[in-house]
Amino acid sequence: NLAINADMSVSCNCQLDDGAGRLGSLAEHELADIIAGPVAASFRATLAAGRLPIAPCAACHDLQMVDPAGAARRASISAISEKGILVENTAACNLRCLGCDRESVRRTHLKHKLAPADIRKIADTIQRHHITTLYYFKYGEPFLSPTIGDELAVIRAVNQDLRIIISTNAGALDDDTKREAALQADLIYCSIAGMSDRTLRRYQRGGSFQNAYANMRALADYRRAQGASRPWIEWKYVLFNWNDHPAMLEQAVALAREAGIDALSFWPTTVPYYGISWRYRSGGLCAKIGQAFPGCRRVYFRPEQPAMG
């Protein structure tokens, strides 16, 4: 969950935490120095003592229970995980989702887009620490950056084997320049929370199902026209109690297959609490459809399956 934000600050988590999880700035220090620095060290010491250093820790996917000896041992480790890192190329977004406080995003970022020099430093940092997976998203919409193709090309140039995963609402993935940029990724999640404007806009305010679906389909068509095998294109369908009716899920499967994408996944959520899918929690179709995968149910349309993330 380590993240490099659009203002080059480094956060210990993927959540919007009002700056509480910020460990330092990559514009001022190297990543290794930040992880070994006083803020990160104090976080580790607090965790080792059985307390949470910041409130977002309570919901962190990386939080684990360990014995006191194991906690003390981990508190002294400042190694950077090779598994992956998040990079937020832009903090701007075209939507106003219920689970995202856009005002806090604007307030907590000193700047809202990575500069070319920032991208070069990030690319070198990824190489130096042998990081294997780049999650190229956080609280902004990656394809709102007009230079996303150049950004990914710089990162790829020095990290040819890097696995790049992008999550997009697909609203800005709307021309061939951006589709060409998308071909540099290994996996793209198109987060489309419904199968009509009525269901989608309950959560993704300001969005358009028709626009997002058309852009996702156009990306699949563009990939096929280029004779490319990547990126893996997956429709990420977040489940709420207003979009989880069996007929809606069956329609989404039909639309996904028609679009020529690789998979459709259904993800339950607890944000907002009043939108919780009780059909999923009570074992309805949305809890049985497709194949089980950590955190979701996935319907595959492509025989070969990549390592997911």
Q: Give CA angle at 218 (216, 219), nearest 5°.
A: 65
Q: Which residue has the higher pLDDT, 303 or 141?
A: 141
Over 70: is that where the pLDDT of 306 sits? Answer: no
What is residue 55's predicted lDDT score, i.e. its pLDDT? 92
pTM as predicted: 0.94
Confidence of residue 61 (pLDDT cuts 50, 70, 90): confident
Phi and psi (nearest 5°) for 158?
A: -110, 0
What is residue 187's predicted lDDT score, i.e. its pLDDT? 97
Q: From residue 308, how far is each of 32, 72, 165, 187, 279 by CA, in Å? A: 27, 32, 9, 8, 25
pLDDT in tens, 70-110: 999 989 888 899 999 999 999 999 999 998 888 888 888 88
**Percent of the chain whose pLDDT exceeds 90:** 82
Average pLDDT over residues 261-276: 95
Confidence of residue 151 (pLDDT cuts 50, 70, 90): very high
